[in-house]
Structure 1
Amino acid sequence: MNAALSLSPPTKLPGDVGPIHFVGIGGIGMSGIAEVLLNHGYVVQGSDLRSSPITDRLAKLGGHIFVGQKAENLESAEVVVISSAIKSGNPELDEARRRGLPVVRRAEMLAELMRLKLNIAVAGTHGKTTTTTMVATLLDAGKFDPTVVNGGIIHAYGSNARMGQGEWMVVEADESDGTFNRLPATIAIVTNIDPEHMEHWGTEENLHQGFLDFTSNIPFYGLAICCTDDADVQTLVGKLTDRRVVTYGFNAQADVRAVGLHYKGGVAMFDIHLQNEDQVIEGCSLPMPGDHNVSNALSAVAVARHLGMSGDEIRRALAAFGGVNRRFTKVAEIDGVTIIDDYGHHPTEISAVLKAARQASEGRVIAIHQPHRYTRLHHHFEDFCSCFNEADVVAITEIYAAGEEPIEGASRDDLVAGLIRHGHRHARSITTQDELTALVKEQAKPGDMVVCLGAGTISAWANELPKRMKA
């Protein structure tokens, strides 16, 4: 065992620990941590079931990548990092425990990285990845040169992670398994709270307590930045009695507030009232539609003002925002039809994305949705039946099971029937990419927008659709 792992370790991750082995290194959450560790000079290796652009990037940075997961991959490893998706029975996890190696959860390793910096952690059921990207964008513009670990590919970086030389780190804080409470945030952002990942939380009371713990963990010199347009977050704010809080949103009570919001060619135009400062940042723009995206931007503005950025710097940074992969990403425009790829898979997200599509489109909105997990469809069935109201046409694919067994009453056809029963005028099921292509050719006209939504394989369908439409 490496001497750095002996008793009385230093308070920061030793430079000679390693090799550090990631089980599932190609995952969007794991790869960002691995990349930052590599850039810090640590010896990093990892395995995944298949190679990908992410694993190729890590290999170019010096990581040793194994394709396939087996016990012998751990031959030289001294520390093993796993996500909550890795369970007993995984050959590498079982081998690590047989050998007595330290097994570290993803959030624990992220927390170790965060101890090297001052930190901004972005939490919330929806909008974390976009908000993390926006905070990073503004800090870049303010010359803070932040380190970033995100849950999506930031277009400006071509990666979900970046090593900066500044004192600040911006991270996405995943609440799905409760481990976000281990993150030593200096500034904690909460975008919203919805009953999601209830297989971990059990009750909404536990979920709300988790977010309260997350925000209460900030130091006395820290800051909680909370969206009070969300009723549950507003309740959270009322319980944060011993820490500084800045609120944001569209409501008149928000400290950082967007006013005069309108859209022109899919670009959001608005002013920002800084109510605590009695100032207005006029003439702001964000090159993407969606009230939810403007809301996310306000949290980044709150961070920027807290760190001393000027109104002009903020205005320029918002106007230049480059976006994040699979968050209202334009794939192509074919014969006047715009094709959008989006990660939205929860009813709240789907509703927000389709509203944004309506704001950005001059024609009709055609939604293609691949439900993600039977349990999610089952738990939120009524919400799924009403979240497609902004779409003129809805097509539902087979469910992406993510390893789950079917649940009675929560199938693709059940959802289509539910949409029709709830009054949707044009909902249908599709099974294959050929059927998707035929539907788009039949329904889409110049000026229309096709929005592919889901967390599974629907992204591949969206990216292959332009070629199929030309065939």
Structure 2
Amino acid sequence: MAAGLPTAMDRPHFIGIGGAGMSGIAKILAQRGAKVAGSDAKESATAEALRALGATVHIGHAAEHLADDATCVVVSSAIRADNPELARAAELGIPVVHRSDALASLMEGLRPLAVAGTHGKTTTTSMLAVSLSELGLAPSYAIGGDLDAPGSNALHGDGEIFVAEADESDRSFHKYAPEVAIVLNVELDHHANYASMDEIYESFETFAGRIVPGGTLVISADHEGARELTSRVSGGPRVVTYGEAEDADVRIVSIVPHGLKSEVTVLLDGEELTFTVSVPGRHYAGNAVAALAAGVALGVPAAELAEALGAYTGVKRRLQLKGEAAGVQVIDSYAHHPTEMTADLEAMRAGASGRILVVFQPHLFSRTQELGREMGQALSLADASIVLDIYPAREDPIPGVTSELIVDAARAAGAEVTPVHDKADAPAVVAGMAGPGDLVLTMGAGDVTDLGPRILDRLQSK
């Protein structure tokens, strides 16, 4: 069952079209036949991928980029009110649509499966997209990261299932009405939008309350925040818990690592089922079990889905191997919250034979202000770390908040850490530290990912 174009979305203009969430929606609309246009701050492979689908992509933001015949302007929460294209839309009377509303409209008439949680959303959404595609179910999907090539974060499929990453950061996941929803974990993050855990719980309760009648909430039985949320939504949708806890409905019996893979055994409906997860780490095994439980809730046979999950081999920036030079592997990690940092470092430690060296770039001043100490403690799991200046993204600086907060906390935890204020100096510094058998992890949600190839080049020239 294929869905058509939503009303008023046949000539959309995206401000920030190259972003992970925005580009996915633009791609699906283009594949459905819309005349897509938009702008982005800089040229990128994602912009090129959109152009290959027939989209018009302008570089830079200017009022003249917005065509007079645009039927709507799509924005994310990161777009500032003084954006010239936004001002032009107001002059022309063109409706402004939030990214979440645009995504919600794409799901209409389909069977939505929304993946939420403080960590692991992109990986779990990707696992479902890959495995359901492997089974020939032709799902549509919108993911917060690329599966392989630029622009592979979304697809319009001919099947009836739509898998979407559901972002809690700005409460935009309240717009969706899923048949099945996953909540992987619930922790305090996005401090510019949430002042307390109570606000986080309220937001996730609202999301769970959006599940359609007869739908299912798949939620972790292992994470404290998820268990608290489960107690708060009792009497609502059908709840299926998963995890290593004894009382989990889909219980993880064992996770046996085999190099960069794991063999996972679960107890489902009274029967044991064993399958392979082709990415390292217990947290990724848990994500795969969440995907399994959600797919089963949609009616996909468990054994077939379990086997298909083994086809997932990772997503860009989620422990992605960038290459090897001079006996040193360079791996890229999107981890930017202490829980994510800890999970990825523990996963790497389990499979590493040499030292683990981290190049960490803090993401957002507000997050560093609230969680800088915990970030420093997470870095103590590495053998040595380089800490870069804070990547501001959409935020203005906060007086007194710098990456030194993390450096000080890491040193207090006994970590070997070196602050590097000019990112261009990092490849030389890390190349001087690394030796054969070591593993270098570039870590953070900003542009630290650009350093991987440069580090490899520097190692090659040693």
SS of residue matched to 1:201: coil
Aligned with 1:332 (options 323, 329, 341): 323
The question of 1:446 aligning with 2:436 is answered yes
Structure 1 residues 48, 157: CA separation in 2 closer, same or farther (over 3 Å shift)?
closer
Aligned with 2:286 (options 289, 292, 295): 295
Give, in angstroms, the shift of residue 155 of structure 1. Answer: 2.3
Q: Deviations over 1:322-366 (max 9, x none)?
A: 211100000001122111011111111111110111012111111
Give, in angstroms, the shift of residue 318 of structure 1. Answer: 2.5
Task: Give the Cα–Cα distance (whole angstroms) in 1 for the partners of residues 153 and 28 of structure 2.
Answer: 10
Task: Give the Cα–Cα distance (whole angstroms) in 2 for the partners of residues 211 and 290 of structure 1.
Answer: 26
The question of 1:65 aligning with 2:51 is answered no
The question of 1:45 aligning with 2:37 is answered yes
Contact 2:4/2:32 (8 A) holds in 1: no
Q: Deviations over 1:119-170 (max 9, x none)?
A: 0011111111001001112212332110011100012896100111100000
Q: What TM-score results when the alignment is normalised by the length of structure 2?
A: 0.94
Task: Give the Cα–Cα distance (whole angstroms) in 1 for the partners of residues 411 and 393 of structure 2.
Answer: 26
The question of 1:461 aligning with 2:451 is answered yes
Give, in angstroms, the shift of residue 17 of structure 1. Answer: 4.7
Query: What is the aligned length?
Result: 457
Structure 1 residues 400, 434: CA separation in 2 closer, same or farther (over 3 Å shift)?
closer
Task: Give the Cα–Cα distance (whole angstroms) in 2 for the partners of residues 238 and 384 of structure 1.
Answer: 30
Task: Give the Cα–Cα distance (whole angstroms) in 1 for the partners of residues 246 and 40 of structure 2.
Answer: 48
Q: Deviations over 1:285-341 (max 9, x none)?
A: 212111111111111110222234445423422322121110000000112211101
The question of 1:136 aligning with 2:126 is answered no
SS of residue matched to 2:145: strand
1:413 paired residue number: 404
2:343 paired residue number: 352
Task: Give the Cα–Cα distance (whole angstroms) in 2 for the partners of residues 114 and 434 of structure 1.
Answer: 43
SS of residue matched to 1:316: helix
SS of residue matched to 2:141: strand
Task: Give the Cα–Cα distance (whole angstroms) in 1 for the partners of residues 9 and 253 of structure 2.
Answer: 51
Contact 1:18/1:43 (8 A) holds in 2: yes
More displaced, 400-409 or 461-470?
400-409
Task: Give the Cα–Cα distance (whole angstroms) in 2 for the partners of residues 441 and 21 of structure 1.
Answer: 44
> Where do residues 50-449 of structure 1 align in structure 2 (5 Å cutoff)?
50-74=42-66, 75-155=68-148, 159-240=152-233, 241-274=235-268, 277-282=269-274, 284-402=275-393, 404-424=395-415, 426-432=416-422, 435-449=425-439
Structure 1 residues 222, 157: CA separation in 2 closer, same or farther (over 3 Å shift)?
farther
Task: Give the Cα–Cα distance (whole angstroms) in 2 for the partners of residues 216 and 355 of structure 1.
Answer: 35
Q: What TM-score results when the alignment is normalised by the length of structure 1?
A: 0.92
Structure 1 residues 229, 378: CA separation in 2 closer, same or farther (over 3 Å shift)?
same
SS of residue matched to 1:116: coil
Task: Give the Cα–Cα distance (whole angstroms) in 2 for the partners of residues 213 and 324 of structure 1.
Answer: 29
SS of residue matched to 1:122: strand
- Which one-letter code corresponds to 2:427 in the other structure? T
Task: Give the Cα–Cα distance (whole angstroms) in 2 for the partners of residues 338 and 407 of structure 1.
Answer: 36
- Which one-letter code corresponds to 2:249 in the other structure? D
Give, in angstroms, the shift of residue 427 of structure 1. Answer: 1.3
1:27 paired residue number: 19
Contact 2:5/2:29 (8 A) holds in 1: no
Give, in angstroms, the shift of residue 435 of structure 1. Answer: 4.0
Task: Give the Cα–Cα distance (whole angstroms) in 2 for the partners of residues 190 and 417 of structure 1.
Answer: 34
Task: Give the Cα–Cα distance (whole angstroms) in 1 for the partners of residues 215 and 205 of structure 2.
Answer: 15
Structure 1 residues 368, 331: CA separation in 2 closer, same or farther (over 3 Å shift)?
same
Contact 2:373/2:410 (8 A) holds in 1: no
Contact 1:248/1:254 (8 A) holds in 2: yes
Task: Give the Cα–Cα distance (whole angstroms) in 2 for the partners of residues 176 and 201 of structure 1.
Answer: 8
Contact 2:10/2:33 (8 A) holds in 1: no
Give, in angstroms, the shift of residue 373 of structure 1. Answer: 1.6
Give, in angstroms, the shift of residue 434 of structure 1. Answer: 6.0
Q: CA RMSD in A?
A: 1.9
Percent identity between matched residues is: 37
1:6 paired residue number: none
